[in-house]
């Protein structure tokens, strides 16, 4: 689906929003900031009101980071499973905020825990989206050694999303870390190969390759600026986009 910027018609019919756990921590750096939850819920509500189907993949780094624990000597598989459980905590917190904002939601977990979430089934998730529910995918891929970025790309491809939107704290992709390099340049459009060859920290290589194989656009944007999700959905040039055409 395509739309002219400013036309008021959505440019995407179905999106996957990739949120890091750190994004939910806000300025406190750890845990869950209720103000961030409320703001994200409000923005998701605005987009849902346009008739756009929204799925969210959430990380768990604000509670537990499997890679960091593994580096500290913990078994990698055990650490990754603990990280997956952290994403479920975040998913439930986000679900609560979304429902308080008046949205219907479902949490689907790649690790079965029926008391708190539905098991992930592809066709079921698509049906929820078609009914206008916001779907939150938790527990990553359900397998160790895979990041939630890869889980986001995988789920987006599985449900036939038009794009995956990665929320960050900067306004796009830069040639270097803009916090530490004053000469870093913002790159508005890139190809998947450029991202891989230049080692740009957009997503991990597995996620980029999955998007490339399935021609799934990646939009990297600043979550801290209110209204950005809706602007992107309406076709405005926000953030940076990675696609086959660059």
**Mean pLDDT for the stretch of residues 55-62:** 96
Q: What is the CATH number of the domain that holds 170?
A: 3.40.1160.10
> Would you state the pLDDT for residue 182?
86
Kindly state whether residue 9 falls inside one of the protein's structural domains.
no
Q: What is the spatial distance between Cα 26 and Cα 198, in angstroms, rounded to a whole number?
A: 29
Query: Rounded CA gap, 178 and 140, in Å?
Result: 29
* 132 closest CA partner among 53, 222, 17: 53
**Residue 113, CA distances (Å) to 7, 72, 110, 143, 168 in order:** 43, 28, 9, 15, 29
What would the mean pLDDT of 26-32 be, rounded to a whole number?
88
Q: Exposure of 1 by Cβ count < 10 A (0-12 exposed, 13-18 middle, 19+ buried)?
A: exposed
| Percent of the chain predicted with pLDDT > 70 | 97
Assigned domain for 72 exists? yes
Residue 181 belongs to a domain: yes
Instruction: Write out pLDDT tens, residues 160-200.
Output: 999 999 999 889 999 988 888 889 999 999 999 999 999 99
pLDDT (mean) for 126-147: 97
What DSSP assignment string belongs to 165-220?
EEEESSSSEESS-TTT-TT--EESEEEHHHHHHHT-SSS-HHHHHHHHHTT--EEE
Q: pTM for the complete prediction?
A: 0.93
Q: Between these two residues, 33 and 6, which has the higher pLDDT value? A: 33
The domain in which residue 60 lies consists of 14-243
pLDDT for 157: 98
Query: Does residue 128 lie within any of the structural domains?
Result: yes
Residue 1 covered by a domain: no
Does any domain span residue 7?
no
Does 40 map to a domain? yes
53 domain-assigned: yes
Contacts of 219 (CB under 8 A, 6+ apart): 163, 164, 165, 166, 232, 238, 239, 240, 241, 242
pLDDT for the residue 7 = 58
Q: How many domains does the chain have?
A: 1
Burial class (CB in 10 A: 0-12, 13-18, 19+), 184: middle
């Amino acid at each position: 689906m395509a739309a002219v910027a400013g036309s008021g018609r959505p440019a995407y019919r179905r999106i996957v929003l990739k949120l890091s756990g750190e994004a939910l921590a806000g300025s406190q750096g750890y845990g869950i900031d209720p103000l961030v939850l409320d703001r994200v819920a409000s923005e998701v509500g605005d987009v849902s009101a346009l008739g756009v189907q929204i799925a969210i993949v959430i990380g768990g780094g604000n509670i537990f980071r499997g890679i960091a624990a593994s580096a500290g000597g913990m078994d990698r598989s055990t650490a990754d499973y603990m990280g997956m459980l952290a994403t479920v905590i975040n998913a439930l917190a986000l679900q609560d905020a979304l429902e308080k904002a008046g949205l219907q939601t479902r949490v689907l977990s790649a690790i079965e825990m029926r008391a708190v979430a539905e098991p992930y089934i592809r066709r079921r998730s698509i049906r929820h989206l078609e009914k206008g529910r916001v779907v939150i995918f938790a527990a990553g891929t359900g397998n160790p050694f895979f990041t939630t970025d890869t889980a986001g790309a995988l789920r987006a491809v599985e449900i036939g999303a038009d794009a995956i939107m990665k929320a960050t704290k900067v306004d796009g992709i830069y040639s270097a870390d803009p916090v530490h390099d004053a000469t870093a340049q913002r790159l508005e459009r890139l190809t998947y190969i450029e991202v891989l060859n230049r080692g740009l920290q957009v997503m991990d290589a597995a996620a980029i390759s999955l998007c490339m194989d399935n021609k799934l656009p990646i939009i990297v944007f600043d979550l801290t600026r209110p209204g950005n999700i809706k602007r992107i959905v309406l076709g405005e040039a926000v953030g940076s986009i990675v696609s086959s055409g660059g």
